[in-house]
Amino acid sequence: MKRKISRRRFLASSGATLAAASAAAVVGCSRKRASQNATPTAPALPQLAPVTSRGGIMRVLNFDAMITDSLDPHQTMMGPIANMHSAVFSRVLRYADEAAGTLAPDLADGMPEQPDQQTYVIRLRPNVRFHDAPKYRLAYPKTAGRELTADDVQYSIERQADPSSPQARSFYRAGNWSAIDRIDVQDSHTLSITLKRPVAPFLNFLAGRHAFVISPEVVDATDRANAELAMIGTGPFIVEALQPEIAIKVRRNADWFARDDDAAGAGGGRPFLDGYDAVYTPQDDDNQRTLFHRTLVDATGFPDPATVATEQKTNLADIALGETDGGGLLASRLLLDRAPFNDDRVRRAIHLAVDRKALIELLYPAMDGRPSAKLTGPVAPAMGAWALSPDDLSKRPGYRDDATGRAEDIAEAKKLFAAATGDRPTLIDVKVVFGGVPKAIPDRAVAALQQQLRPIGLNVVPVLDPSGFGLIDVALGRNIDGATEGVAPFTFMLEDGGVDIDDWLYPHFRSDQRMNSYRLQDAQLDGMLDKSRAEFDADSRRQMGLDIQNYLVSKVNARIEFAAPVERRLSWGYVRNYAMPMWYGSNQDLANTWLDTSHPAWRARP
């Protein structure tokens, strides 16, 4: 997708004054996760601030306009574009509270009926309509303004599980839907889903980050919905304009089906905002500070945690700090079908040799004595009791940072690497593709990784991704396709997580899954993952999840995890009900956000 206009022209066309400066930002989109298992019934949530002023366009700096692979909501592997998707599209179910993992109806008119463990009867809300605007009436006259039906739900699920689709490789969550035996549409608002076998997290699949319901008419002959005009959903916001790596502008959907659902006391008539502009720019503390001081943006994160601390202290009464454990992680993916990574001793040596504490201090310096990242296994600490504890990890080989432990780990890494490679006298070159977003990765991590792996015999040859993620996406796609050239044998990048523990493990590590870019084949691991999906007892399922993570860390090392960021975001005090979700994919909650025009700081906002 090519840029058609400049950043300045795009912003000026919306009346935004952001074009006055070339700015940079990352809005922290990471979140917190409690230890409970997902349940069908949502508990009472904390009360929201009742709306007292409506309207206005909220302006934020973040990565929402970064399209890592595809605009198609079913064909994106990961990335911030899920924020736009979640504002525009709807799901059968939603997470009422991602931190607690609790579920609630979205398009469904109540939780699905379950006559048995393999059958789910879904009744849809009446009068749910696709967005209606002149551009959609012109492009998709059969979809614009029409009522969503059970056929749309059936299509959205079956499309992703169709092995004959020319885009089959790009349906990264096909493994969720392949568990379905059949879908029977009973009438326009009722469908029944029958599974091949009981699947414990199936309700979570219906609420998943990318489980959006779309119209068949927006999909082209090649089975893609990869155009801006195809972003026609039923959610609280409508896409007004989208320019990759410039901005995304969405506007209020006055006909949203949930507009009068009083969310935890906020009030009816949602969304309260007229819309929001998510502006994408490279990270630069000085420019972001200028824009934030002048209230040209209402919220932003900062690359340097020290800047966050300074800015918050500038006006404690008017500026709110959002802080939470991140729902993603910094990690490296290895390609296991070729030397040297087809030898588990090499992978283990890398796991042991990497100095995670040094990487954290370099990439995520502490803020006022509080950590800006935590040690992590395959599941980020934000998942609470579902994740391996950072305190426990800090005592393990590869994670420990005491002098004695580090010396033992490096000695063992050298021994393993020498045994695997025949004790070669020369270094082995290995290309490492570094993600370009955030900038700290290429700016700081390259030299550190070179220094840490050289002593065991690896010479890191950096391949930088100037686009941020495009190069890695193409290479990982070739990994998944089974290509021999143009692949990524070793990556260093931020990765998305999920909400349910199955999101973190099954799609990434089971042998036949689309996100298994490592070409990992492990029958024992497959058995563990399958058993976890079939376990309905929460305590047993949690223990299985921990066992799988321990196995991955101690035996497999196909993906080597380094750290999980602690995300921080500043917003002006007039931005109310601006919750920080767990990770990308929860912008539907901006329907509850409003701008308090009575707040003292509002008077200075241009």
Residues 314 and 403 in one domain: no
2 falls within a domain:
no
CB 349: neighbour CB atoms within 10 A?
30
Q: What is the pLDDT of residue 5?
A: 34
Q: What is the pLDDT of residue 47?
A: 76
**Number of structural domains found in the chain:** 2
Q: Which two tokens stand for residue 136?
A: 């959609």
**CA–CA dist 59, 78 (Å, integer):** 24
Residues 223 and 341 in one domain: no
Residues 402 and 448 in one domain: yes
Cis peptide before 340 (omega within 30 of 0): yes
215 falls within a domain:
yes
128 falls within a domain:
yes
Q: What is the pLDDT of residue 21?
A: 35
CATH classification at residue 516: 3.10.105.10
Residues 232 and 345 in one domain: no
Element (H, E) at 323: strand 319-325
Residues 591 and 489 in one domain: no
581 falls within a domain:
yes
Q: What is the DSSP letter of 291?
A: H
Q: How confident is the model at residue 581 (pLDDT cuts 50, 70, 90)?
A: confident
323 falls within a domain:
no
Do 404 and 269 form a contact (C-beta atoms < 8 A)? no
Residues 472 and 508 in one domain: yes
Q: Which two tokens stand for residue 495?
A: 């990765």
Do 574 and 605 form a contact (C-beta atoms < 8 A)? yes
Strand blocks (E) in 55-92: 57-61, 90-91
Q: What's the average model confidence in pLDDT over 49-64?
A: 96
Element (H, E) at 10: helix 7-13
**CA–CA dist 513, 502 (Å, integer):** 13
Residues 547 and 578 in one domain: no
Residues 85 and 115 in one domain: yes
45 falls within a domain:
yes
23-27, 119-123, 177-181, 418-422, range with the lowest pLDDT: 23-27
Mean pLDDT score of the chain, rounded to an integer? 90
pLDDT over 90 (residue 179): yes
Q: Sort strands 428-434 and 458-464 into parallel, antiparallel or unpaired.
A: parallel
pLDDT over 60 (residue 56): yes
1 falls within a domain:
no
pLDDT over 90 (residue 168): yes
Residues 78 and 196 in one domain: yes
Residues 154 and 296 in one domain: yes
**CA–CA dist 195, 444 (Å, integer):** 48
DSSP, residue by residue, 375-433: ---SS-GGGGGGS--HHHHTTSTTT--SHHHHHHHHHHHHHHHHHHHT--SSPEEEEEE
**CA–CA dist 437, 584 (Å, integer):** 15
Residues 556 and 443 in one domain: yes
Residues 599 and 552 in one domain: no
**Residue type for position 227:** A
Q: What is the pLDDT of residue 491?
A: 95
CATH classification at residue 205: 3.40.190.10
Do 23 and 281 form a contact (C-beta atoms < 8 A)? yes
Do 300 and 60 form a contact (C-beta atoms < 8 A)? yes
Closest by CA to 238, choosing from 209, 271, 287, 269, is 271
Q: Which domain holds residue 212?
A: 7-318+573-604
